Chains A and B, each alone.
Chain A
């Protein structure tokens, strides 16, 4: 055995394993410990005078009363609507991302020739400006005397200017699609770029027209990429609370679960309630995360074959 330890193969394994160390450390510090800290707050107590959190680190002493109340409110009480609304907004925004983002990603990955570099740069460009600044810009574009109404009037699509910031669901969806679509396009682009072009050519050679080749060959092959892009996009959308706040002037009709979390954690005397809401949301998102991991693993296996 002593010989085996120093064998070149074993040494190579140790060498490569150290490459995973930063990732593992990252995962432990920023995921596992963070989640544990959220649990310690959710199941912990608060300072009786200052109402600041006192996390309880020992699971044996955890107090689940705040979580119980939150679950009641989420499943049968006043928070159910907020969860339903959040899922609806995120679902519609994802649909928007797919409808707009898929053709863009497909074009850049498969069709664009010389313009590809320029298009990729254009896709990354929004990241140069802070998300909040971009949303503030939209509030100017969408206000009654803003450019959006000017353009619509010029195109004769509407006569009376519309107040886009009036607390309507579609404004929030527009904002979410705009804000998160680069997160959707970029991973999808990299998946589509790796598609085996020979399969598409084979489809054409065997008599399918362009449409059928796309629907029968290209689209099924891009499903794993679509899934990954979708998960990466909707995870941050679920936690969003500023897009709707900015774009609807704080209308109760567009409140998302992120707003409730923000209120309970930053503006209330019950941070345990906020942390419990975080955990409930995470439980929902965990399902999506598992799906994402399973598809990536499958993709990897397929690539190795």
Chain B
């Protein structure tokens, strides 16, 4: 029921408050126009010269190799400025209010992209600047969250499974029990964690109950998931965090719901001296029950350096640049070159973590977290709040 004009006024008022400028109680008397209409943004024209920069990027902390950024700066003769954020809602709030001005969102989650497109925060890509799309795993050139990859191109991809200490629990035992491993881990009380993410943790509990619709609107399904998660507090003294990438190699966590990339990162950088990657293990459900997620790069609607932003995306999709970046971040680039054989032979991933690289079949049949309507989202959020509050 809110009009975009009213939003504009409300936001101006909000800024007024922040600046201490005194606030007339602004209320819109503008005509209501349906705000669910997609806001139209236009792609840039062909053949433009790159701007002088600086290129302003928003990204999670430590999610791109600083050397890759330095290389880009040298090659294109521009400065790159990175602002970091913790959650998608945080970056959307800042972009929507105008508090943050940037050219490129480096890592949009795929349940967020649709909202950002509909909310007019992204601009369509002009692929004439991005020749490296041929390197991309084909699925991601026409993904479910952005048909035809009109607004976004993939940065990294990974799946959700169980990371574990193979020296403490047998890989075959984990494979045998599947998600029950987490509920059965009474021998490892206090050394068990689930992801600090409402969708991921509740979704995992749903999968364990045989629910394959990760976007279920059924209150009963969600209630069951949260009551199962609550059991974990007494059963295994569960922790809620995203620290598996270091806590598993360092040994304080034995069994954790983690992303496949966490094990690759952990093997590369977090094993204590004298400990080899053999102690690490990863299990994930079979194709069709396996959640495969990716982060995407997208040019923001308010970009002042849109050409440069396009060139940056193209740069990151170059095989050599992507390899240099992968060697530092540990999250697989969504490029065909980086299959399991390539990353294992290259020494980036140990052989025992081969299943951390999703196969083409796993990607194609991958389950995913779709954007939810407000009521359903509120249901998941209330369930999550109940779990993290300890019941």
1/0 contact string of A142-182 vs chain B (CB within 8 Å): 01100000000000000000010111000000000000000
CA distance A61 to B385 in the complex (A): 28
**Contact assessment for B14 and A52 in the assembled complex, using a CB-CB cutoff below 8 Å:** no
CA distance A259 to B92 in the complex (A): 21
Asked if A88 CB lies within 8 Å of chain B CBs, one says no
**Contact assessment for B240 and A251 in the assembled complex, using a CB-CB cutoff below 8 Å:** yes
**Contact assessment for B390 and A81 in the assembled complex, using a CB-CB cutoff below 8 Å:** yes
**Contact assessment for B388 and A252 in the assembled complex, using a CB-CB cutoff below 8 Å:** yes
B66-74, B83-91, B207-215, B304-312 - interface stretch: B83-91
CA distance A49 to B1 in the complex (A): 11
**Contact assessment for A167 and B27 in the assembled complex, using a CB-CB cutoff below 8 Å:** no
1/0 contact string of B237-273 vs chain A (CB within 8 Å): 1111101000100001000000000000000000000
1/0 contact string of B368-391 vs chain A (CB within 8 Å): 000000100110010011111111
Asked if A270 CB lies within 8 Å of chain B CBs, one says yes
Minimum CB–CB distance for A75 against chain B, Å: 14
B2-10, B167-175, B290-298 - interface stretch: B2-10
**Contact assessment for B378 and A270 in the assembled complex, using a CB-CB cutoff below 8 Å:** yes
Asked if B82 CB lies within 8 Å of chain A CBs, one says no
Contact for B388 among A49, A51, A263, CB less than 8 A = A263
Q: Specify the chain A residue showing the minimal Cβ separation from B189.
A: A166
Number of interface residues of B (CB under 8 A): 53
State whether A57 and B27 are in contact (beta carbons under 8 Å apart), knowing that A49-B118, A52-B93 are contacts in the complex.
yes
CA distance A51 to B391 in the complex (A): 26
**Contact assessment for A78 and B391 in the assembled complex, using a CB-CB cutoff below 8 Å:** yes
**Contact assessment for A250 and B10 in the assembled complex, using a CB-CB cutoff below 8 Å:** no
CA distance A89 to B7 in the complex (A): 40
**Contact assessment for A78 and B190 in the assembled complex, using a CB-CB cutoff below 8 Å:** no
Contact for A255 among B13, B25, B390, CB less than 8 A = B390
Asked if B193 CB lies within 8 Å of chain A CBs, one says yes
Contact for A252 among B93, B97, B387, CB less than 8 A = B387
Asked if B35 CB lies within 8 Å of chain A CBs, one says yes
Minimum CB–CB distance for B133 against chain A, Å: 28
CA distance A45 to B3 in the complex (A): 12
Asked if A212 CB lies within 8 Å of chain B CBs, one says no
Asked if B80 CB lies within 8 Å of chain A CBs, one says no
Q: Specify the chain B residue showing the minimal Cβ separation from A82.
A: B389
Q: Which B residues lie within 8 Å of A29 (CB)? A: 20
Q: What is the interface residue range for chain A against chain B?
A: 35 or more
**Contact assessment for B239 and A266 in the assembled complex, using a CB-CB cutoff below 8 Å:** no
Q: Which A residues lie within 8 Å of B351 (CB)? A: none
Asked if A276 CB lies within 8 Å of chain B CBs, one says no
Residues 1-41 of B contacting A (Cβ, < 8 Å): 2, 6-7, 10-11, 13-14, 17, 20, 23, 25-27, 35-36
1/0 contact string of A233-252 vs chain B (CB within 8 Å): 00000000000000011111
**Contact assessment for A249 and B389 in the assembled complex, using a CB-CB cutoff below 8 Å:** no
CA distance A82 to B241 in the complex (A): 19
Asked if A130 CB lies within 8 Å of chain B CBs, one says no
Q: Which A residues lie within 8 Å of B27 (CB)? A: 57-58, 61
**Contact assessment for B389 and A260 in the assembled complex, using a CB-CB cutoff below 8 Å:** yes
CA distance A55 to B87 in the complex (A): 21
Q: Show 12 A/B contacts (Cβ-Cβ < 8 Å), sorted by A.
A: A33-B20, A50-B96, A50-B115, A52-B93, A55-B14, A57-B25, A58-B25, A249-B252, A250-B239, A251-B239, A255-B389, A267-B87
A-B CB proximity, top 6 nearest: A250-B241, A252-B390, A250-B240, A249-B239, A50-B119, A49-B119
Known: A51-B115, A57-B10, A266-B86. 7 other contacts (CB 8 A): A81-B389, A82-B390, A163-B190, A249-B239, A263-B388, A264-B381, A268-B198
